[in-house]
Amino acid sequence: MDDEKEDQPEFGKVIVGFLVAVLVLGGIVYAGYTYSQKKGKDKVLPNGYPADQGPGVIDCSKPRDPAANVWEYYLKCDKIKADDAKWVEHTNDEYGFSLMVPDNINIEPYSNGLGVPYKEIPGTSHLLYSVDLAASRSGEFGKMSGKEYVENYWRQYSGIAGVNYVEEIVNEQGLQGYKANYKFANGQDSPNTEIFFELEDGSGDYVHFASGIFDEPVFDKIIGTFTINKKEKKEE
């Protein structure tokens, strides 16, 4: 009997310890769930897309206020200009196209695009172009081509709520493409002018340009120089 009484406190400690462990584990699981829910609700924007933020404090006569959105500030006060820059050729041999860019900008080639870092904005957040392949898109978007894809491009991203316009264009090299502008999920219009050139009619593979912080005449000239270098197919 005495032995049984001595064992009871130890047994009680085990039960209390078990309950504490369950509560701690439950708290960790709940915290992880809450975090994942918050992350899941984040708006999704394409890589290299302007941040969906408010304008902050913008006064072009003064240095940029730390509270000001960097995109809004440079779009209003300090766009990329060519001025006396020389224009040099940039060639993408993998996908067979080329274009001219001013030599006063830094470029960072990536596997699927060309970044242009500018002051506080890294190249990964400021893509001049990206290669958008049908094979890399899921579901119905992988089957779209021509104007249909440009009109529906925004539907792949929760941070973009709609399309303002899509227009057919022809550049100075005689290439047909599409000019578009989209609307952010917060109701603001995207500052990007976006140009899509399909690498081959019906392929659904595009070179997708975004104006970013380029001054309009500079961006227009880049688009005007874009050309697709047709590759000769080897005879088997």
The predicted structure's pLDDT at residue 45: 77
**Res. 29: pLDDT tops 60:** no
Spacing of C-alpha 11 from chain mean position: 59
More confident residue, 232 or 206: 206
The tokens for 83 are: 């001025």
Mean pLDDT value across the chain: 83
231 pLDDT band (50/70/90 cuts)?
Answer: low
Give the lowest-confidence range in 66-70, 104-108, 132-136, 145-149: 66-70
**Res 7: pLDDT:** 52
70-228 topology per CATH: Protein Transport Mog1p; Chain A (3.40.1000)
The ranges assigned to domains in the chain are 8-42, 70-228
Query: Is residue 66 very low, low, confident or very high in pLDDT (cuts 50, 70, 90)?
Result: confident
Task: Specify whether the CB–CB gap between 126 and 134 falls below 8 A.
Answer: no
**How many angstroms separate the CA atoms of 236 and 234, rounded?**
6
Q: CA 85, 115, 185, 182 torsion: positive or negative?
A: positive
CA pair distance 177, 167, nearest whole angstrom: 8
* Model pLDDT, residue 13: 52
Burial 163-200 (b: 16+ CB within 10 A, else e): beebeeeebeeebebbbbbbebbeeeebbbbbbbbbbe
Instruction: Please list the residues that pair with 180 across neighbouring strands.
Output: 166, 194
Question: Which amino acid, one-letter code, is at 209?
Answer: F
User: 38 pLDDT exceeds 70?
Assistant: no
Q: Give the pLDDT confidence of 212-224 residue by residue, as tens digits.
A: 999 999 999 999 9
Average pLDDT over residues 119-143: 95
pTM of this prediction?
Answer: 0.77
pLDDT digits (tens, 9 = 90+) for 69-106: 888 899 999 999 998 999 999 999 999 999 999 999 99
